[in-house]
Homo-oligomer: A and B are copies of this chain.
Protein backbone atom coordinates (compact mmCIF):
# COMPACT_ATOMS: atom_id res chain seq x y z
CA UNK A 1 0.00 0.00 0.00
CA UNK A 2 1.46 3.35 -0.99
CA UNK A 3 1.21 5.99 1.70
CA UNK A 4 -0.46 9.32 1.07
CA UNK A 5 2.22 12.03 0.89
CA UNK A 6 2.02 15.81 0.76
CA UNK A 7 4.63 18.59 0.69
CA UNK A 8 4.29 21.55 3.01
CA UNK A 9 3.69 23.60 -0.14
CA UNK A 10 0.70 21.37 -1.02
CA UNK A 11 -0.78 21.76 2.44
CA UNK A 12 -0.10 25.50 2.67
CA UNK A 13 -1.85 26.14 -0.61
CA UNK A 14 -4.79 23.88 0.11
CA UNK A 15 -5.55 25.36 3.54
CA UNK A 16 -4.18 28.91 3.25
CA UNK A 17 -1.27 28.52 5.66
CA UNK A 18 2.10 30.30 5.81
CA UNK A 19 5.23 28.18 5.24
CA UNK A 20 8.34 28.39 7.40
CA UNK A 21 11.39 26.45 6.18
CA UNK A 22 11.63 24.15 3.19
CA UNK A 23 8.31 23.97 1.27
CA UNK A 24 9.39 20.65 -0.27
CA UNK A 25 9.38 18.91 3.13
CA UNK A 26 7.34 15.73 2.65
CA UNK A 27 4.73 14.59 5.17
CA UNK A 28 3.14 11.13 5.16
CA UNK A 29 1.11 11.28 8.35
CA UNK A 30 0.04 13.20 11.42
CA UNK A 31 0.89 12.39 15.03
CA UNK A 32 1.19 13.76 18.55
CA UNK A 33 4.33 15.68 19.42
CA UNK A 34 5.44 12.76 21.57
CA UNK A 35 5.08 10.05 18.96
CA UNK A 36 5.65 11.85 15.63
CA UNK A 37 8.55 10.68 13.48
CA UNK A 38 10.61 12.68 10.96
CA UNK A 39 8.08 12.30 8.11
CA UNK A 40 5.09 13.19 10.29
CA UNK A 41 3.40 16.44 11.09
CA UNK A 42 2.73 17.48 14.69
CA UNK A 43 0.95 20.50 16.06
CA UNK A 44 0.94 22.83 19.00
CA UNK A 45 -2.30 24.65 19.75
CA UNK A 46 -1.78 25.36 23.40
CA UNK A 47 1.38 27.42 24.19
CA UNK A 48 1.34 25.72 27.61
CA UNK A 49 2.87 22.63 25.99
CA UNK A 50 5.59 24.58 24.09
CA UNK A 51 8.39 22.84 25.99
CA UNK A 52 7.34 19.55 24.35
CA UNK A 53 8.48 20.95 21.00
CA UNK A 54 12.18 20.52 21.69
CA UNK A 55 11.83 16.81 22.45
CA UNK A 56 9.56 16.08 19.50
CA UNK A 57 10.98 14.28 16.48
CA UNK A 58 8.17 15.58 14.24
CA UNK A 59 9.39 16.45 10.74
CA UNK A 60 7.21 19.56 10.63
CA UNK A 61 4.74 21.38 12.83
CA UNK A 62 1.52 23.35 12.63
CA UNK A 63 1.83 26.31 14.99
CA UNK A 64 0.94 29.97 15.43
CA UNK A 65 3.06 32.55 13.59
CA UNK A 66 4.65 33.61 16.88
CA UNK A 67 5.79 30.06 17.65
CA UNK A 68 6.88 29.47 14.04
CA UNK A 69 9.21 32.45 14.20
CA UNK A 70 11.25 30.75 16.91
CA UNK A 71 11.44 27.30 15.29
CA UNK A 72 14.39 25.77 13.52
CA UNK A 73 12.39 23.09 11.77
CA UNK A 74 9.80 23.39 8.99
CA UNK A 75 6.36 24.58 9.98
CA UNK A 76 2.97 25.73 8.76
CA UNK A 77 1.71 28.83 10.55
CA UNK A 78 -1.86 29.93 11.22
CA UNK A 79 -3.82 31.68 13.92
CA UNK A 80 -5.84 28.49 14.48
CA UNK A 81 -3.42 25.55 14.50
CA UNK A 82 -6.04 23.14 15.91
CA UNK A 83 -8.44 23.72 13.02
CA UNK A 84 -5.69 23.57 10.38
CA UNK A 85 -4.35 20.34 11.89
CA UNK A 86 -7.88 18.85 11.92
CA UNK A 87 -8.25 19.64 8.20
CA UNK A 88 -4.84 18.15 7.38
CA UNK A 89 -5.51 15.05 9.51
CA UNK A 90 -8.68 14.42 7.52
CA UNK A 91 -6.48 13.87 4.45
CA UNK A 92 -5.01 10.83 6.17
CA UNK A 93 -8.32 9.35 7.32
CA UNK A 94 -9.11 5.91 5.93
CA UNK A 95 -12.84 5.43 5.61
CA UNK A 96 -14.38 2.04 5.01
CA UNK A 97 -15.67 1.76 1.43
CA UNK A 98 -19.37 2.55 1.04
CA UNK A 99 -20.42 1.70 -2.49
CA UNK A 100 -23.63 3.24 -3.75
CA UNK A 101 -26.54 0.84 -3.74
CA UNK A 102 -28.23 -1.59 -1.40
CA UNK A 103 -26.29 -4.56 -0.04
CA UNK A 104 -27.89 -7.87 -0.98
CA UNK A 105 -28.32 -8.79 2.68
CA UNK A 106 -30.17 -5.57 3.63
CA UNK A 107 -33.95 -5.67 4.03
CA UNK A 108 -35.47 -2.57 2.43
CA UNK A 109 -39.23 -2.27 2.33
CA UNK A 110 -40.63 -1.54 -1.12
CA UNK A 111 -42.36 1.46 0.43
CA UNK A 112 -39.02 3.10 1.34
CA UNK A 113 -37.28 5.63 -0.93
CA UNK A 114 -33.53 5.19 -1.24
CA UNK A 115 -31.55 7.61 -3.39
CA UNK A 116 -29.49 5.80 -6.02
CA UNK A 117 -26.28 7.38 -4.68
CA UNK A 118 -26.90 6.26 -1.10
CA UNK A 119 -25.09 3.25 0.37
CA UNK A 120 -27.11 0.75 2.41
CA UNK A 121 -24.74 -1.64 4.17
CA UNK A 122 -25.09 -5.31 5.06
CA UNK A 123 -27.97 -6.43 7.25
CA UNK A 124 -29.62 -3.01 7.46
CA UNK A 125 -33.40 -2.68 7.65
CA UNK A 126 -35.27 0.25 6.12
CA UNK A 127 -39.02 0.44 6.78
CA UNK A 128 -41.90 1.62 4.68
CA UNK A 129 -42.16 5.37 4.46
CA UNK A 130 -38.45 5.96 5.21
CA UNK A 131 -36.35 8.15 2.91
CA UNK A 132 -32.58 7.91 2.48
CA UNK A 133 -31.03 10.95 0.79
CA UNK A 134 -28.30 11.40 -1.79
CA UNK A 135 -24.89 10.23 -0.74
CA UNK A 136 -26.10 9.03 2.65
CA UNK A 137 -24.31 6.02 4.13
CA UNK A 138 -25.81 3.35 6.36
CA UNK A 139 -23.05 1.14 7.75
CA UNK A 140 -23.73 -2.45 8.80
CA UNK A 141 -26.82 -3.40 10.79
CA UNK A 142 -28.51 -0.01 10.92
CA UNK A 143 -32.28 0.11 11.31
CA UNK A 144 -34.31 2.99 9.88
CA UNK A 145 -37.93 2.89 10.98
CA UNK A 146 -41.20 4.20 9.56
CA UNK A 147 -41.35 7.82 8.46
CA UNK A 148 -37.68 8.44 9.15
CA UNK A 149 -35.54 10.63 6.89
CA UNK A 150 -31.78 10.41 6.54
CA UNK A 151 -30.62 13.64 4.92
CA UNK A 152 -28.14 14.10 2.13
CA UNK A 153 -24.63 13.04 3.02
CA UNK A 154 -25.53 11.81 6.48
CA UNK A 155 -23.67 8.81 7.86
CA UNK A 156 -24.93 6.16 10.28
CA UNK A 157 -21.68 4.40 11.13
CA UNK A 158 -23.04 1.00 12.18
CA UNK A 159 -25.92 -0.47 14.20
CA UNK A 160 -27.71 2.87 14.57
CA UNK A 161 -31.46 2.73 15.24
CA UNK A 162 -33.84 5.45 14.04
CA UNK A 163 -37.07 4.26 15.57
CA UNK A 164 -39.94 6.32 14.24
CA UNK A 165 -40.58 9.84 12.89
CA UNK A 166 -36.90 10.83 13.04
CA UNK A 167 -35.67 13.42 10.56
CA UNK A 168 -31.92 13.86 10.21
CA UNK A 169 -30.63 16.90 8.31
CA UNK A 170 -27.62 16.92 6.02
CA UNK A 171 -24.16 15.63 6.95
CA UNK A 172 -25.34 14.26 10.30
CA UNK A 173 -22.93 11.68 11.73
CA UNK A 174 -24.33 9.05 14.11
CA UNK A 175 -22.15 6.53 15.92
CA UNK A 176 -22.96 2.89 16.69
CA UNK A 177 -25.54 1.94 19.23
CA UNK A 178 -27.29 5.31 19.19
CA UNK A 179 -31.08 5.07 19.47
CA UNK A 180 -32.99 8.06 18.13
CA UNK A 181 -36.76 8.29 18.30
CA UNK A 182 -37.62 5.75 20.98
CA UNK A 183 -40.69 6.57 23.06
CA UNK A 184 -40.27 9.27 25.68
CA UNK A 185 -40.90 8.25 29.28
CA UNK A 186 -44.47 9.36 29.79
CA UNK A 187 -46.67 7.88 32.49
CA UNK A 188 -49.96 8.69 34.16
CA UNK A 189 -51.32 6.99 37.26
CA UNK A 190 -54.68 5.36 36.76
CA UNK A 191 -56.61 2.90 38.92
CA UNK A 192 -53.58 1.89 40.98
CA UNK A 193 -51.18 1.25 38.13
CA UNK A 194 -49.17 3.13 35.51
CA UNK A 195 -50.82 4.04 32.24
CA UNK A 196 -48.48 4.69 29.33
CA UNK A 197 -48.88 8.11 27.75
CA UNK A 198 -48.54 7.54 23.99
CA UNK A 199 -45.54 9.25 22.45
CA UNK A 200 -46.69 10.65 19.14
CA UNK A 201 -44.05 13.26 18.32
CA UNK A 202 -40.81 12.86 16.42
CA UNK A 203 -37.17 13.94 16.54
CA UNK A 204 -35.66 16.60 14.28
CA UNK A 205 -31.89 16.82 14.02
CA UNK A 206 -30.29 19.73 12.19
CA UNK A 207 -27.48 19.74 9.65
CA UNK A 208 -23.95 18.84 10.74
CA UNK A 209 -24.90 17.34 14.10
CA UNK A 210 -22.86 14.48 15.55
CA UNK A 211 -24.40 11.87 17.88
CA UNK A 212 -22.17 9.61 19.97
CA UNK A 213 -22.15 5.87 20.53
CA UNK A 214 -25.02 4.47 22.62
CA UNK A 215 -26.55 7.93 22.99
CA UNK A 216 -30.36 8.02 23.22
CA UNK A 217 -32.67 10.79 21.99
CA UNK A 218 -36.37 10.19 22.60
CA UNK A 219 -39.22 11.26 20.37
CA UNK A 220 -41.55 13.93 21.69
CA UNK A 221 -44.83 13.19 23.42
CA UNK A 222 -46.88 15.43 21.12
CA UNK A 223 -44.45 17.96 19.60
CA UNK A 224 -40.95 17.02 18.45
CA UNK A 225 -37.63 16.75 20.23
CA UNK A 226 -35.27 19.13 18.42
CA UNK A 227 -31.53 19.52 17.94
CA UNK A 228 -30.67 22.60 15.89
CA UNK A 229 -27.70 22.51 13.51
CA UNK A 230 -24.14 21.65 14.54
CA UNK A 231 -25.07 20.18 17.92
CA UNK A 232 -22.42 17.73 19.11
CA UNK A 233 -23.24 14.94 21.54
CA UNK A 234 -20.65 12.53 22.89
CA UNK A 235 -21.31 8.90 23.90
CA UNK A 236 -24.04 7.70 26.28
CA UNK A 237 -25.80 11.05 26.38
CA UNK A 238 -29.52 10.89 27.21
CA UNK A 239 -31.92 13.44 25.71
CA UNK A 240 -35.50 13.05 26.91
CA UNK A 241 -38.68 13.89 25.03
CA UNK A 242 -39.39 17.42 23.86
CA UNK A 243 -35.96 18.76 24.72
CA UNK A 244 -34.80 21.55 22.43
CA UNK A 245 -31.05 22.10 21.99
CA UNK A 246 -29.73 25.24 20.31
CA UNK A 247 -27.21 25.32 17.50
CA UNK A 248 -23.53 24.59 18.25
CA UNK A 249 -24.18 23.29 21.74
CA UNK A 250 -21.87 20.41 22.72
CA UNK A 251 -22.38 17.83 25.48
CA UNK A 252 -19.73 15.47 26.82
CA UNK A 253 -20.17 11.78 27.60
CA UNK A 254 -22.96 10.60 29.91
CA UNK A 255 -24.63 14.00 30.18
CA UNK A 256 -28.41 13.84 30.50
CA UNK A 257 -31.26 16.26 29.90
CA UNK A 258 -34.75 15.61 31.26
CA UNK A 259 -37.98 16.28 29.39
CA UNK A 260 -39.08 19.57 27.83
CA UNK A 261 -35.95 21.50 28.80
CA UNK A 262 -34.76 24.15 26.36
CA UNK A 263 -31.02 24.69 26.04
CA UNK A 264 -29.57 27.69 24.20
CA UNK A 265 -26.92 28.00 21.51
CA UNK A 266 -23.22 27.54 22.11
CA UNK A 267 -23.73 25.89 25.48
CA UNK A 268 -21.15 23.41 26.76
CA UNK A 269 -22.29 20.60 29.04
CA UNK A 270 -19.60 18.61 30.87
CA UNK A 271 -19.46 14.86 31.29
CA UNK A 272 -22.18 13.21 33.36
CA UNK A 273 -23.83 16.55 34.11
CA UNK A 274 -27.59 16.37 34.59
CA UNK A 275 -30.15 18.98 33.64
CA UNK A 276 -33.64 18.69 35.11
CA UNK A 277 -36.84 18.91 33.10
CA UNK A 278 -38.92 21.96 32.10
CA UNK A 279 -35.99 24.41 32.45
CA UNK A 280 -34.52 27.04 30.18
CA UNK A 281 -30.81 27.66 29.74
CA UNK A 282 -29.84 30.76 27.81
CA UNK A 283 -27.08 30.87 25.17
CA UNK A 284 -23.44 30.37 26.12
CA UNK A 285 -23.96 28.57 29.40
CA UNK A 286 -21.20 26.20 30.46
CA UNK A 287 -22.05 23.42 32.91
CA UNK A 288 -19.04 21.70 34.42
CA UNK A 289 -18.78 17.92 34.68
CA UNK A 290 -21.05 16.04 37.08
CA UNK A 291 -23.03 19.14 38.01
CA UNK A 292 -26.78 19.11 38.55
CA UNK A 293 -28.85 21.90 37.04
CA UNK A 294 -32.21 22.13 38.78
CA UNK A 295 -33.17 25.71 37.99
CA UNK A 296 -33.31 27.74 34.78
CA UNK A 297 -30.20 29.75 33.96
CA UNK A 298 -30.68 33.24 32.55
CA UNK A 299 -27.09 34.49 32.51
CA UNK A 300 -24.27 33.18 30.32
CA UNK A 301 -21.36 31.88 32.37
CA UNK A 302 -19.93 28.82 34.01
CA UNK A 303 -21.89 26.81 36.58
CA UNK A 304 -20.92 23.86 38.72
CA UNK A 305 -21.85 21.61 41.59
CA UNK A 306 -19.42 18.73 41.27
CA UNK A 307 -17.18 18.00 44.24
CA UNK A 308 -13.56 16.87 43.84
CA UNK A 309 -12.77 13.59 45.57
CA UNK A 310 -10.53 13.55 48.62
CA UNK A 311 -9.23 10.90 51.04
CA UNK A 312 -12.31 8.87 51.93
CA UNK A 313 -11.88 8.97 55.72
CA UNK A 314 -11.61 12.72 55.69
CA UNK A 315 -14.49 12.95 53.24
CA UNK A 316 -16.71 10.84 55.47
CA UNK A 317 -16.09 13.22 58.35
CA UNK A 318 -16.88 16.18 56.13
CA UNK A 319 -20.13 14.70 54.81
CA UNK A 320 -21.21 13.86 58.34
CA UNK A 321 -20.87 17.57 59.12
CA UNK A 322 -22.54 18.57 55.85
CA UNK A 323 -25.61 16.56 56.76
CA UNK A 324 -25.93 18.77 59.85
CA UNK A 325 -24.79 22.03 58.30
CA UNK A 326 -28.08 23.83 58.64
CA UNK A 327 -28.22 22.88 62.32
CA UNK A 328 -24.66 24.12 62.78
CA UNK A 329 -25.38 27.47 61.19
CA UNK A 330 -28.52 27.90 63.25
CA UNK A 331 -26.59 27.16 66.41
CA UNK A 332 -23.92 29.67 65.44
CA UNK A 333 -26.69 32.13 64.74
CA UNK A 334 -27.83 31.92 68.34
CA UNK A 335 -24.44 33.08 69.44
CA UNK A 336 -23.67 35.45 66.65
CA UNK A 337 -26.18 38.05 65.63
CA UNK A 338 -24.14 39.00 62.56
CA UNK A 339 -25.21 35.87 60.74
CA UNK A 340 -27.97 37.26 58.62
CA UNK A 341 -26.28 40.51 57.67
Q: Taking beta carbons and an 8 Å cutoff, which residues of A are in contact with B?
A: 30-32, 35, 80, 82-83, 85-87, 89-90, 92-94, 96-97, 103, 105, 107, 121-123, 125, 127-128, 140-141, 143, 145-146, 157-159, 161, 163-164, 173, 175-177, 179, 182-183, 185-190, 193-198, 200, 208, 210, 212-214, 216, 218, 222-223, 230, 232, 234-236, 238, 240, 248, 250, 252-254, 256, 258, 271-272, 274, 276, 286-295, 301-326, 328-329, 331-332, 334-336, 338-339
Out of B128, B197, B331, which one reaches A82, CB within 8 Å? Answer: B197
A33 to chain B: closest residue by CB: B222
- If A182-B157, A235-B185 touch, whether A307 touches B319 (CB-CB below 8 Å) is yes
Does B325 lie within 8 Å of A309, measured CB to CB?
no
Does A258 lie within 8 Å of B248, measured CB to CB?
no
Specify which chain B residues have a CB less than 8 angstroms from the CB of A195 in the assembled complex: 83, 86-87
C-alpha gap A331/B223 in the complex (Å): 50
Count of this chain's copies in the oligomeric assembly = 3
C-alpha gap A287/B289 in the complex (Å): 17
Does A188 lie within 8 Å of B309, measured CB to CB?
no
Does B198 lie within 8 Å of A93, measured CB to CB?
yes
Does A86 lie within 8 Å of B307, measured CB to CB?
no
Out of B210, B287, B301, B321, which one reaches A326, CB within 8 Å? Answer: B321
Out of B123, B157, B323, B332, which one reaches A332, CB within 8 Å? Answer: B332
C-alpha gap A290/B97 in the complex (Å): 42
Does B305 lie within 8 Å of A216, measured CB to CB?
no
Does B177 lie within 8 Å of A214, measured CB to CB?
yes
Specify which chain B residues have a CB less than 8 angstroms from the CB of A230 in the assembled complex: 193-194
Does A214 lie within 8 Å of B214, measured CB to CB?
yes
Does A161 lie within 8 Å of B159, measured CB to CB?
yes
Specify which chain B residues have a CB less than 8 angstroms from the CB of A312 in the assembled complex: 286, 288, 301-304
C-alpha gap A312/B291 in the complex (Å): 10
Does B310 lie within 8 Å of A321, measured CB to CB?
no
Specify which chain B residues have a CB less than 8 angstroms from the CB of A334 in the assembled complex: 338
List the 10 closest pairs (A to B, CB-CB), nearest first: A83-B190, A317-B326, A182-B213, A107-B122, A304-B312, A82-B188, A125-B140, A302-B312, A185-B234, A303-B309
Does B185 lie within 8 Å of A253, measured CB to CB?
yes
Does A258 lie within 8 Å of B250, measured CB to CB?
no
C-alpha gap A244/B318 in the complex (Å): 32
A197 to chain B, nearest CB (A): 4
Specify which chain B residues have a CB less than 8 angstroms from the CB of A234 in the assembled complex: 185, 240
C-alpha gap A321/B321 in the complex (Å): 12
A308 to chain B: closest residue by CB: B294
